[in-house]
Amino acid sequence: MQLSRSTRIALRIAAGLGFAVVYVPLALVLVNSFNPDRSASWPPPGWTAHWWSVAWENAGARSALWVSVKAGLGATAIALVLGTLIAFAVARHRFFGRDAISFVVVLPIALPGIVTGIALNSAFSTVLEPLGVGLGLFTVIVGHATFCIVVVFNNVVARLRRTSGTYEEAAMDLGADTFRAFVDVTFPLVRSALFAGALLAFALSFDEIVVTTFTAGPGIETLPIWIFDNMTRPQQAPVVNVVAAVLVVLSVVPIYVAQRLSADTATESRI
Amino acid sequence: MTATLPAAGRSPVRRLAGLLHRRRRLRLSLLLTAPLLWLAVLYLGSLGVLFVSAFWTTNSFTSEVVKVWSTDNFHALLTTPVFRQVILRSIGVALAVTVLCAVIAFPLAFYTARVARPRWRPLLVVAILTPLWASYLVKVYAWRLILSQGGLADWMLRPFGLDGPGFGLPAAVITLTYLWLPYMILPIHTALQQMPTGLLDASADLGARPGRTFRSVVLPMVLPSVAAGSVFTFSLSLGDYITVQIVGGKTQLIGNLVYSNIELNLPMAAALGTVPVLVIVLYLLAMRRTGALSSL
Q: What are chain B's domains?
A: 4-53 (no CATH), 73-295 (1.10.3720.10)
The partner residue sitting opposite B46, judged by closest CB among A83, A123, A179, is A123
Amino acid at position A36, single letter: P
Is the CB of B120 inside 8 Å of chain A's CB atoms? no
Q: What are chain A's domains?
A: 33-270 (1.10.3720.10)
Reduced to 3 states (helix: H, G, I; strand: E, B; else coil), residue A177 is coil
Q: Quick one: pLDDT at residue B87?
A: 94
Bridge partners, residue B57, by sequence: B66
State the Cα–Cα distance between residues B87 and B155, nearest whole angstrom.
34
State the Cα–Cα distance between residues B243 and B173, nearest whole angstrom.
9
Chain B residues with CB under 8 Å of A259 CB are: 126
What are B168-193's pLDDT values in tens digits?
A: 999 999 999 999 999 999 999 989 98
Is the CB of B260 inside 8 Å of chain A's CB atoms? no
* Cβ atoms of residues A156 and A84 within 8 Å: yes
Q: Quick one: pLDDT at residue B177?
A: 96
Does residue B182 have a cis peptide bond before it, meaning omega lies within 30 degrees of 0? Answer: no
Locate the chain A residue with the closest alpha carbon to B127.
A19
The answer on pLDDT for A75 being more than 60 is yes
State the Cα–Cα distance between residues B96 and B179, nearest whole angstrom.
14
Q: Quick one: pLDDT at residue B3?
A: 44
ipTM of the complex model: 0.88
Give the closest residue to A151 by CA, choosing from A210, A100, A85, A79: A79
Give percent of chain A above pLDDT 90: 43
The answer on pLDDT for B41 being more than 50 is yes
Percent helix, strand and coil across chain B, each rounded to 5? 80, 0, 20
pLDDT band with cut points at 50, 70 and 90 for residue A211 = very high
State the Cα–Cα distance between residues A40 and A47, nearest whole angstrom.
13
Is the CB of B113 inside 8 Å of chain A's CB atoms? no
A89 contacts B45? CB cut-off 8 A: no
Q: Quick one: pLDDT at residue B203?
A: 87
Average pLDDT over residues B54-59: 84
- Preferred mutation among A23, A28, A42 to probe B, highest tally of B CBs within 10 A: A42
Angle at A173 between CA A170 and CA A178, to 5 degrees: 85
The partner residue sitting opposite A119, judged by closest CB among B35, B50, B155, is B50
The rounded mean pLDDT for chain B is 87
The answer on pLDDT for B8 being more than 60 is no
Q: Quick one: pLDDT at residue A235?
A: 85
The partner residue sitting opposite A12, judged by closest CB among B18, B111, B127, is B111
Shortest CA gap A179–chain B (Å): 6
Average pLDDT over residues B125-138: 89
Q: Quick one: pLDDT at residue B207?
A: 86
Shortest CA gap A34–chain B (Å): 14
Reduced to 3 states (helix: H, G, I; strand: E, B; else coil), residue B65 is strand
What are A224-258's pLDDT values in tens digits?
A: 999 999 988 888 888 999 999 999 998 888 888 87
The rounded mean pLDDT for chain A is 87
Q: Quick one: pLDDT at residue B253?
A: 93
Reduced to 3 states (helix: H, G, I; strand: E, B; else coil), residue A46 is coil
Least confident of A110-114, B207-211, B266-270: B207-211
Q: Give the helix/strand (H/E) hosting B58.
A: strand B57-58
* Cβ atoms of residues A146 and A210 within 8 Å: no
What are B233-274's pLDDT values in tens digits?
A: 999 999 899 999 999 989 999 999 999 988 888 889 999 999
Average pLDDT over residues A52-61: 88
pLDDT band with cut points at 50, 70 and 90 for residue B1 = very low
